[in-house]
Amino acid sequence: MKRLCAWMLALLMVLPMTAYAAEDADTAHKIGVIFYGKDDALGQCVYEEVNHAAEVVGIEVEWALGDYDTESQLTSVENLISAGCEGIMFMPIEDASAQKVGQACEESGIYFAICFRDILDSGIKSYVESCEYYVGSCWEDDKGAAGDLVSVLAEDGRSVFGLEKMNPSIALAVRNDGFAEGAEAAGAEIVAEYEVPNDGNSQTHINGVTNFLNLYPDMDGILMTTSSQGAAEAIVNTVKQNSEVGKVKLAMFDLYEGIADDFAAGWVAAAAAGNSPDALFVFLALVNAVDGTPLSDSFINLSQKEVIVTSAEECADYEKYIDNPEYQIYSDEMIQNLVGRYNPDVTLEDYTEIMEAFSLDWVKENSAQ
Amino acid sequence: MEALLKVENISKEFGATKALSDVSMTVYPGEVRGLIGENGSGKSTLSNIIAGIHKMSDGKMMFLGAEYRPESVLDSRKKGISLLAQETGTIAGMTVYENMFLGEETAGGKSRFVNARRLKKATKEILAENGLAHIQPEDNVERYSFEDRKMIEVARAVWHDPQILIIDETTTALSHHGRQKIYEIIRQMKKNQKSVIFISHDLDEIMNVCDSVTVLRDGNYIDTLPHDRMNKDTIRSLMIGREFDGRYYRPDWVCTHGEQVVLKAEHIVYRNILKDVSLELHEGEILGIGGLTDSGMHELCKILFGAIRPDKGRVTYMDNTEITSPQTAMKKRIAYIPKDRDTESLFIFADIKDNIVASSYDQIKKQGFIFPKSEHELAEKTAASLQVKMRDVRQYVGELSGGNKQKVAICKWLANESQLFLMDCPTRGIDVGVKANIYLLMQELKKQGKAIIMVSEEMTELIGMSDRILILKDGECSGEFLRQDHPSEQEVIQKML
Amino acid sequence: MQAAKKYVKNYIVMFLVTAAMIALLMFFAPATRSFTTLLSLLKQGIAPAILGWGVLFNIKAGNWDFGVGAEVLIAAIIGGNIAKMLGMGIAGVIVCCMVVGFAAGTVSGILYRLLRIPTIIISIAIMLIYESICGIVFGGKGVSLDLSYLVLSHFPGNVLMWIAGFLIAYILFFKTRIGYNIKAVGSNIKIAEDNGINVKRTKALALSIAGLFAGLYAAVNVGSSGAVRTVSAMGTMGTCFNAMMCVFIGLSIVGGGNIFIAIYFGAVVMQMIQMALMVFGIPTQYSQVVVAIFVIAFMLFSTNAPEIRENIRRKRHGGSFPHLAQ
């Protein structure tokens, strides 16, 4: 039995190698994308918009989904390069991943670009920015968004906060700093915190928030660096069961299922919605580089404003126009205009202009559909 | 008379090793059948097959006229055959009552749920019936001495009222009192027309207790001697397959040792067990320590090795180093061979090589590295010196017979070139052939100037091997005998009791 | 009277240790000085204790099962979704989660018996497989329950779950043969086997029982939080380790008392540590370090307690101070 299993395992490991061995000279340029997944709305949106854009500009895309640590992202980039990808777009799970994946691409002469993240570690940032094949990055202004979320609570007269904190070692930890700075600027105080569990265990959230409410009766706001992996539901439900409407309000990153009802009921004050267009612009910039029509001689840094929703109606608009994988924010013409092979006059300023214009209202007015 | 148990053409293989080859035996009601043979002869294998621990590779068994194929020890017990095993059969960390009803916690109960109260009550009754009223059912079994734990196993074996009781080298582990208890059980079973299969290396015991004896050698059936044909020389010859000249103790009767004191124990006090014991061991001396099981001699041996810290007193080596831990003792090349080899001496789930080299890594390491080749060579050389019966040094020690295990235990200390040996019942549960080897080894070590302390519960062994005998009674030294004075067994016993 | 004295003697250690730690917390952190805080601690200890009870069976049987966290995940997602689809209410969630959890644990046990490889390896494979399955079933979205299901985070739901878990654990461990067999196998495999206990079957059953408790814990989780989402890359190991810590603390303070109550107190102690970290403002980066230090301290105490008692006895009898081992 053991021998049979060993043979099967060996076979399973060998078979995928043959899939990557074949080369077809006639295929279009191929770009690999390493992303955390498409289980949630953000992931689905990214998946759809990148695939749509690729189809519109005549590029083949190869996906590597489900990597949650540096080692698996490194494995994925090696596999994608072996599969013939000429460019890699990825969302590094941590700074070390940015370095390792970047290094793998650089050594293989493959263009690479980063979406959704900035690199915090100065040493790693220097290295990546010195790479010849580094196209650039686009990230959301998490720090600014955190400050905006605190402002919403502060404008509501709230000043005593608990913090659901991100692990300081990962890229999203910039949200912790954003909340801290935002609270200071608003004259508010973060009196207690707990860390988001790695194992996604909702008991940690339940216990953390219960302790907030019991130990700090004056607490009137909870700042959440993430709503994913059931965090939002656990926190909101705990607050609902242990407090009264209006006493403690929540401000969070990312939306969750049911948030519109909670907005309407008064449990949630504001949410920074995840913005999918990051990936689209980085992807198109990478296409330009692979096509030999780069937007700049050096790397580029694009910044994406985050949409802050503060009501059930805004939630509905966001869900209809932005957080909807079936809805393409940008028309085919807009997409092609950002790529050299269709618009030889495209510049970096075109990107900046369209990104700065991005907002919920703009999307409603310029709806592609 | 109809046979109670018929064992026909039993064979048993463990991998490539044939432990039993075509062995047949018949036991009749009311018979006490001795089963004897050298280590590795297959006695324990045969008894384990009868008791349901092992399955036979070939052959047939008939019990009470029906075919008998026990699935397990529990099954054989239910059918009427109980086994009293050679080594420890109680589990530390569990209570006395849990051990008593191990594997049959719901037996005799009205439901499928375990009724702890019922088990405790039943255990108390069983213990009382067997003269063990001082043992509490709720206590963890490790609170009790080796002897008491063995007696718990005895009680467990007999409370099922078996038709056949297999006693596998149990008496050697017991004190005089314990042995008497076993003999009483045997007498009672005989009286009730039930049978006993009695395995022992003690020929005197076999001759006194058994109606007949079956001899095995190298897994083969040799002969069965009725009582009128039983004599020691015949049995020994059948066991080893050649004439045995009967001498294995020291032939000389002089005290020969050096002047240098290599180990000194001064005013040792330990709990209520040792009250004030002092001794000196000289180079080239075999110092025997005897007494009843609870005299404190086993604890004294542990204290001399540093394994137990005394409440008062000290143990010093010849360079005045105080022995306070096994590590200190080993640095001074002091060896310790405990009485309970399976739990205190050997790594039962490791192989022979790992066991032998366990204390010798400093000797074989080169620039801080230990090479498998060095380990292998040392293990093979040392095992060969004591003629350990094994497949190779990679065989698991747990698969060896009792005597070969003891040889491996001794090999460990020979491998690291020990100078001083503390031996606690070194020939317990060992056949005459291996005993002779060990006695020869002791004499050889003595000749080399190495010192030996031998704690023993066997009078003949103490008198036959020691330059000097110290007797402990109630935690104190009650007598000392010199070899040249030819002490008799009566004189020695008087000091013990 | 004797029985009462014995009872006190058996439970004094676990009560005193837990009470002392809570008292210390309240002394140094005024914010925690309230009955509400005490109640909150007792409440927070319920869920981890339930999982800890299941983990105990594995530890006692000598199994290393890192898959228990993944079993919680799969029980919550599959069990919770089925109950929701069939409109079975919270009772259905509990039953379905327990059934799925038990099945998940049993698969581990079957694989262990079939493949004859150590439980630690089986459990890691199972963890990866279950995490992957959770990413596939029900669209990979996990499970979400509305407010009407969320009755297990407060009285009487949480207390009823504690009672149910305790009764199941107590009966299985103390009143059935499997409990005794598990203890025997974990203490000495050879002697257990020689006495007719089927070692492989016993260890496999321990895995199943742990899965049952994983299901119960999953029910409490989803019936408190309302949502459980998928986890990958061995993320569920954290759940497993937290449960083990409760068990280790429980084993060190059990004295002569009931091990399941001791594990519950161990869980309370763990929650107390988390609360202390929050109240004293110790950065969360250090929380794992602090927890680890506490667990080591507890284990140090319990492992060396016999030697400490022996040294005290020796000193009382006029013996010398113990030498340090060389």
Per-residue burial over A130-168, b = 16 or more CB atoms within 10 Å of its CB, e = otherwise: ebebbbbbbbbbbbbbbbbbbbbbbebebbbbbbbbbbe
Kindly determine whether residue B93 and residue C187, on different chains, have CB atoms separated by under 8 Å.
yes
Which residues of chain C have a CB within 8 Å of the CB of A5? Answer: 115
pLDDT (0 to 100) of residue C93: 97
* B484 part of a folded domain: yes
The answer, as to whether pTM is greater than 0.90, is no
Asked if B172 and B296 sit in the same domain, the reply is no
* A200 part of a folded domain: yes
Interatomic CA distance for residues A328 and A52, integer angstroms:
8
Domain holding A341, by residue range, is: 27-140+275-306+327-365
ipTM, interface predicted TM-score of the complex: 0.83
Q: What is the CATH number of the domain that holds B208?
A: 3.40.50.300
pLDDT in tens, C120-173: 999 999 999 999 999 899 988 899 998 899 999 888 999 999 999 999 999 999
Kindly determine whether residue A215 and residue C142, on different chains, have CB atoms separated by under 8 Å.
no
* A2 part of a folded domain: no
The neighbour count for residue B384, using CB atoms within 10 Å, is 11
What DSSP designation does C75 have? I
pLDDT (0 to 100) of residue B433: 78
Interatomic CA distance for residues B370 and B381, integer angstroms:
17
Asked if B200 and B271 sit in the same domain, the reply is no
Scanning C17-46 for CB atoms below 8 A from A yields 31-32, 34, 36-37, 40, 43-44
Which residues of chain C have a CB within 8 Å of the CB of A180? Answer: none
Q: How many CB pairs under 8 A join A and C?
A: 130
Average pLDDT over residues C76-103: 96
* B249 part of a folded domain: no
* Helix pair C177-187, C46-61: axis angle to 10 deg: 60
Asked if A102 and A167 sit in the same domain, the reply is no
Asked if A172 and A112 sit in the same domain, the reply is no
Number of structural domains in chain B: 2
Kindly determine whether residue C180 and residue B102, on different chains, have CB atoms separated by under 8 Å.
yes
pLDDT in tens, C191-241: 898 888 999 999 999 999 999 999 999 999 999 999 999 888 788 998 998
Domain holding B313, by residue range, is: 261-496
* A8 part of a folded domain: no
Choice between A318 and C71, residue whose per-residue pLDDT is larger: C71
Q: Does C31 touch chain B (CB under 8 A)?
A: no
* B118 part of a folded domain: yes
Burial class of residue B112 in the structure, from the number of CB atoms within 10 Å of its CB (0-12 exposed, 13-18 middle, 19+ buried):
exposed
| Minimum-distance CB partner of C233 among A69, A193, A258 | A69
CA distance A72 to chain C (A): 9
Nearest CA in chain C to A4: C115
Asked if A255 and A175 sit in the same domain, the reply is yes
Interatomic CA distance for residues A253 and B54, integer angstroms:
65
pLDDT (0 to 100) of residue B119: 94
CA distance C155 to chain B (A): 31
pLDDT (0 to 100) of residue A17: 61
Number of structural domains in chain A: 2
Asked if B234 and B301 sit in the same domain, the reply is no
Q: Beta partners for B213?
A: B34, B225
SS3 C236: coil
Q: What residues contact A170, with CB distance under 8 A and at least 6 apart?
A: A93, A94
| Minimum-distance CB partner of C287 among A67, A195, A216 | A195
Interatomic CA distance for residues B306 and B281, integer angstroms:
16
* B115 part of a folded domain: yes
Residue C100: HSE in the Cβ half-sphere, 13 Å Cα cutoff: 27
pLDDT (0 to 100) of residue A27: 52
SS3 A14: helix
Per-residue pLDDT of chain A (369 residues; tens, 9 = 90+): 778 888 898 888 777 565 544 444 445 899 999 998 887 777 888 999 999 999 999 999 999 998 878 889 999 999 999 999 999 999 998 889 999 999 999 999 999 999 988 888 889 999 999 999 999 998 888 888 999 999 999 999 999 999 999 988 777 888 999 999 999 999 999 999 999 988 888 999 999 999 999 999 999 999 999 998 899 999 999 999 999 999 999 999 988 888 999 999 999 999 998 766 889 999 999 999 999 999 999 999 988 878 899 999 998 888 888 888 888 889 899 999 999 999 999 999 999 888 888 888 888 888 655
> Do chains C and A have 3 or more beta-carbon pairs under 8 angstroms?
yes
Asked if B285 and B325 sit in the same domain, the reply is yes
pLDDT at C260 over 50: yes
Asked if A171 and A248 sit in the same domain, the reply is yes
Kindly determine whether residue A199 and residue C284, on different chains, have CB atoms separated by under 8 Å.
no
The neighbour count for residue C322, using CB atoms within 10 Å, is 14
- Strand order, beta sheet including B66-67: B66-67, B58-63, B5-14, B17-27, B220-226, B212-217, B32-36, B195-199, B164-168, B81-84
SS3 A268: strand
Tell me the pairing of strands B261-270 and B312-317. Answer: antiparallel
Instruction: Output the six-digit token pair for A93.
Output: 């799970």
Q: Does B75 touch chain C (CB under 8 A)?
A: yes
Nearest CA in chain B to C177: B105
Sign of CA dihedral B302, B306, B312, B314: positive
* A6 part of a folded domain: no
Asked if B336 and B370 sit in the same domain, the reply is yes
Kindly determine whether residue A216 and residue C34, on different chains, have CB atoms separated by under 8 Å.
no
Nearest CA in chain C to B82: C195
CA distance C16 to chain A (A): 23
* B414 part of a folded domain: yes
Kindly determine whether residue B324 and residue C326, on different chains, have CB atoms separated by under 8 Å.
yes
pLDDT in tens, A223-269: 999 998 899 999 999 999 999 999 999 999 988 888 999 999 999 99
Q: Which of B73, B94, B106, B267 to mutate to test the interface with C (most CBs of C within 10 A)?
A: B94
Asked if B456 and B322 sit in the same domain, the reply is yes
Asked if A206 and A128 sit in the same domain, the reply is no
Tell me the pairing of strands B164-168 and B81-84. Answer: parallel
Interatomic CA distance for residues B71 and B84, integer angstroms:
18
Lowest mean pLDDT among B169-173, B189-193, C8-12, C65-69: B169-173
Sign of CA dihedral B192, B195, B199, B205: positive
- Rounding to the nearest 10 degrees, give the CA dihedral for residues B431, B432, B434, B435: 110
pLDDT (0 to 100) of residue A40: 73
Asked if B389 and B467 sit in the same domain, the reply is yes
Which residues of chain C have a CB within 8 Å of the CB of A72? Answer: 233
Which among A172, A190, A191, A170 has a CA at the least distance from the CA of A181? A190
Phi-psi region of A196 (alpha: psi -120 to 50; beta: other; left: phi over 0): beta
CATH architecture of C13-306: Orthogonal Bundle (1.10)
Residue B362: HSE in the Cβ half-sphere, 13 Å Cα cutoff: 8
pLDDT (0 to 100) of residue B429: 73
- Rounding to the nearest 10 degrees, give the CA dihedral for residues A105, A107, A108, A113: 20
- Touching subunits of C (3+ CB pairs, under 8 Å) are A, B
Which residues of chain C have a CB within 8 Å of the CB of A230? Answer: 142, 225, 227-229
- Helix (H), strand (E) at residue C105: helix C89-115
Interatomic CA distance for residues A171 and A71, integer angstroms:
16
Q: State the amino acid at position C109 in one-letter form.
A: G
* A183 part of a folded domain: yes
Per-residue pLDDT of chain B (497 residues; tens, 9 = 90+): 789 999 999 999 877 677 899 999 999 999 999 999 876 788 889 999 999 989 999 999 999 999 999 988 889 998 999 999 877 789 988 999 999 999 889 877 777 899 999 999 999 999 999 889 999 999 999 889 888 999 999 999 998 899 999 999 888 778 778 889 899 999 999 999 999 999 987 888 899 999 999 999 888 999 999 999 998 888 888 887 655 555 578 888 888 888 999 999 999 999 888 999 999 999 999 999 998 777 899 999 999 999 999 999 999 999 999 999 999 999 999 999 998 888 889 998 899 999 999 999 988 898 889 999 999 999 999 999 888 988 899 999 988 888 889 999 999 999 989 999 999 999 887 777 788 889 999 999 999 999 999 999 888 889 999 999 999 988 899 999 999 998 888 888 778 77
Burial class of residue C178 in the structure, from the number of CB atoms within 10 Å of its CB (0-12 exposed, 13-18 middle, 19+ buried):
buried
